[in-house]
Chains A and B, each alone.
Chain A
Amino acid sequence: MPRWDVASTGHLTTCSLISPELVTDDSPSNRGPARLRPTVIGPIAPAQKTLRRSADRAPPSVSEHATRPVVAPTAIPGVERRRIAVTVADIARLSPGVAPAVAATAVRLVEGFVVEGARDRTITLWGHGAQQEYADLVARTLDLARADELGRVRAYVTRMIDLLGAIDLPVICGIGRPAGVFDRLFGGTGRIDTLCALEDARAELDQLVRLTAAALDPLLRLRDRLSEQARRIEATGGDIEAAALAAGFLADHLSITQPALSQRFLERAMSLTRSVVQLRGDDPLRAAQAEQPLHLIAAIQEAVLVAMPAWLSTIAALTATASGARSPNPTEAGELQHRLQTILQQLKT
C-alpha cells in the first residue's frame, strides 16, 4: 500500500484572512502582513485555496475567545485536484436563456471532469446515462398511457355516450314525432324511444356509473404516476441539456491543449443537443398524454358522479309517471333534454 512520508515538507497554502499571530510567510502572495503559517505536507502546488464563509456567520463560540485564529487549512499530503475554471456565466454564454439549475449542473460536470488520465471511453459515455434514462422513461410513459385502467374507463364513458345519445326524450314524452318507417329501417337500431327501452337504458347507465366510480381511485393513481413520469422526464431533459452544454464548453476549452479529446466532446455535444431538441419537440405530446387521465377524471367527477345520477333519478320518476296517468309536459321534457345534452357534452369533451 502506498504511504506518504510524514516528514516531507511541502508548500504553504494561502488564504484571504489575516491572522493576528506573527508568523511570517515568505511566499510572494503572503508578503506584507504577518500571517499564521500552517504546516502543509505534500507535493508543491500553487496556492489555490478558496476561503468561503458561511452565510450564517458563527455566533461567538465557546472556544472563540481562547483560540488562535487559523488562516489556512492543514492539508493531508496527496494530489491536489485542480478544477477547470468555469462559471455559470460561461455556460450561459453558450446557451443564453438556459435555466440556472441546468447551468449549475453543467458547471458541476465540467468541474468533475479530470483531464489527466481522461480516456476516450469516458467521453464516449458522456451524458449517455441520461440519454438512456430518457428513452426508458418515455417507453414507460407510453406503457402507462396504454394502461388497463384508462382503457376500461374510456369504454365505460363511450358506452354511456352511446346510450345517452340514443335516448329520444321528446318521443318518449309524447311531444315529438315518432320515427317513421324509413327512420326505423335506416336510422340505426339502438334508438331508445319507448318507456320500456328507456328503463332498460337507465338500469345499464346506473351500472356504468357504479363501475366508473369504482375505477376512479386507480385512475387517480395512474394520474399521479403519469405526473411523476413527466417530472422525471423534465429532470432528465435538464441533465441531458447540462451534459450537452458541459461537453460544448469542454470541447472549446480543450481545443488547443487536447484536440483529440476536444473533438470527442464536440461529437457528444452534438448528439446530446439533438436529444434535447427531440425532447423539447415531444413536450406537447407528453403534456397531452399526462392530461388524458385528467380530462377523464374531470368528466367522471362532474358528469358521471354528479349530473348523471341526478338525471337518472329524474328519468326513473319520469318512467314511473309516464306509465301512470300523467305524462311530462313540454317544459319538463325540454328541461330533461337540456340536462341530457349537457351531460353528453361533458362526457364527449
Chain B
Amino acid sequence: MLTLSLEKPGVAVPKLQLSLNKGARFTAKVEWRCDADHADDVDVHALEARNDGNGAKVTELVSVLSTYNTTRMNPQGGALASNTDGSFATPSGGLSHSGDLRVQNSSESIVIDGSKLPAGVNEIPILVTVHEADHGGGHEEGDADEDEPAFGDIDLCTITLTDGSGRELGAYQLSSEFKEFNVVQLGSLLLGPEGWEYAAVGRGFNGTFNDVLAHFS
C-alpha cells in the first residue's frame, strides 16, 4: 500500500499559469475565498491509475500527483521533483500541478494532458482535500469547535473541471455541498473507446490523503 508523509513545511509558493487551448487537455481548478482569521490549505490531487476491471490502482508513487508527494513538501518520501516556482508534474508530464498555495483567497490547478499519459493509464481520479482550515472565529456561521477541518470552514470553495476549450464539465461547491467533509472526489477522467472522458463521482468523506491512496493502491 502506498503511503505518504502528510506533513508540510511552511512554504507557500507562487502558482504557475498554464495555457489550455487544444487537444485532450483538462484542467481541474480549486478556488477558495475566506475572510476569517486562518490560513486555508486546500489541495487538489490526481492519480495516473490503471483500471483492469477491478478498480483504478496506482502502484508507484510517481503516479501520484499530490503536493504531499513532492520533494519540496516531503523531502524524505516525495517522488516528484518540485520546480523552482513550486509547480510539479508526473514524469510523463501527463499530470502537472500549479504548485501548493496556503494562503486565503487563492486557487490551485491541475492540468491533465491525455496525449502524454503513459500507456496503460486509463483512469485519472481527481480529488481535493482540506486541512488546517479550522478556526476560532470570523465566520457568520460554521462549527468552530469541530476537531477536524472541513470544507464548510471556508466561506467559498469550489472545484471545477474544464476541457481544453474552457467548457465546464463538472463543478462542486465544496463549502456548501461537502461542508462536513475534508476529502472529496470530484470525478475521474476515463479513457474510453473514443478518448478521454469525464465521469462525475461527487463523494466526500473524512480522512486523509493516505486513505485515498489506500483505496487506489
The interface of chain A, by Cβ under 8 A from chain B, is 1-4, 6, 15, 17, 19-21, 23, 36-42, 49-81, 83, 108, 111-114, 117, 119, 121-122, 125
Residues of A within 8 A of B46 (CB): none
Q: Size band of the B side of the interface? A: 35 or more
Q: In the bound complex, do residue B199 and residue A68 qualify as a contact, i.e. CB atoms below 8 Å apart?
A: no
Are B24's CB and A122's CB within 8 A? no
Q: Which of B173, B194, B197 contacts A112 (CB 8 A)?
A: B173
- Give the number of residue pairs across the A-B interface with Cβ within 8 Å: 219
**Hey, which chain B residues are within 8 Å of A56, CB to CB?**
22-25, 163-165
In Å, the complex CA distance between A114 and B175 comes to: 11
- Whether B202 and A54, one on each chain, are in contact in the complex, defined by CB atoms closer than 8 angstroms, is no
CB-CB under 8 A from A108, the residues of chain B are: 171, 173
What are 26 A-B residue pairs whose CB atoms fall within 8 Å in the complex? A1-B207, A2-B207, A4-B215, A6-B215, A19-B192, A36-B51, A53-B197, A57-B24, A58-B196, A60-B195, A63-B118, A66-B119, A67-B119, A70-B122, A70-B190, A74-B125, A76-B201, A78-B203, A81-B178, A81-B204, A111-B173, A112-B173, A113-B176, A114-B177, A114-B179, A122-B141
Interface centre among A2, A73, A108 (most CB of B within 10 A): A73
Q: Which residues of B contact A74 (CB under 8 A)?
A: 49, 51, 55-56, 123, 125, 188, 216
- Inside 8 A of B198's CB, which chain A residues have their CB? 51-54
- B:177-216 near A, CB below 8 Å: 177-181, 183, 185, 187-188, 190-208, 211-212, 214-216
Q: How far is the CA of A37 from the CA of B148 in the complex (A)?
A: 35
Q: Which residue of B lies closest to A64 (CB)?
A: B191
- CA–CA, A83 to B171, complex, Å? 12
11 new A-B contacts, CB < 8 A, other than A63-B118, A64-B195, A111-B173, are: A23-B53, A53-B194, A63-B191, A73-B187, A75-B203, A76-B215, A78-B203, A80-B201, A81-B177, A108-B173, A121-B141
Query: Which of B53, B125, B173, B202 lies in contact with A68, CB distance below 8 A?
Result: B53
- Chain B residue, CB-CB nearest to A77: B205
How far apart are A49's CB and chain B's nearest CB, in angstroms? Answer: 5
Q: Which residue of chain A has the shortest Cβ distance to B208 in the bound complex? A: A1
In the bound complex, what is the Cα–Cα distance between A6 and B214 (angstroms)? 8
Partner of A63, one of B122, B173, B185: B122
**Chain B residues whose C-beta falls within 8 Å of the C-beta of A64 in the assembled complex:** 191, 195
What separation, in Å, do the CA atoms of A41 and B215 have in the docked complex?
9
Verify if B140 is at the interface (C-beta below 8 Å from A): yes
| Contact A50 B199, CB 8 Å, known A38-B53, A56-B24, A68-B52 | yes
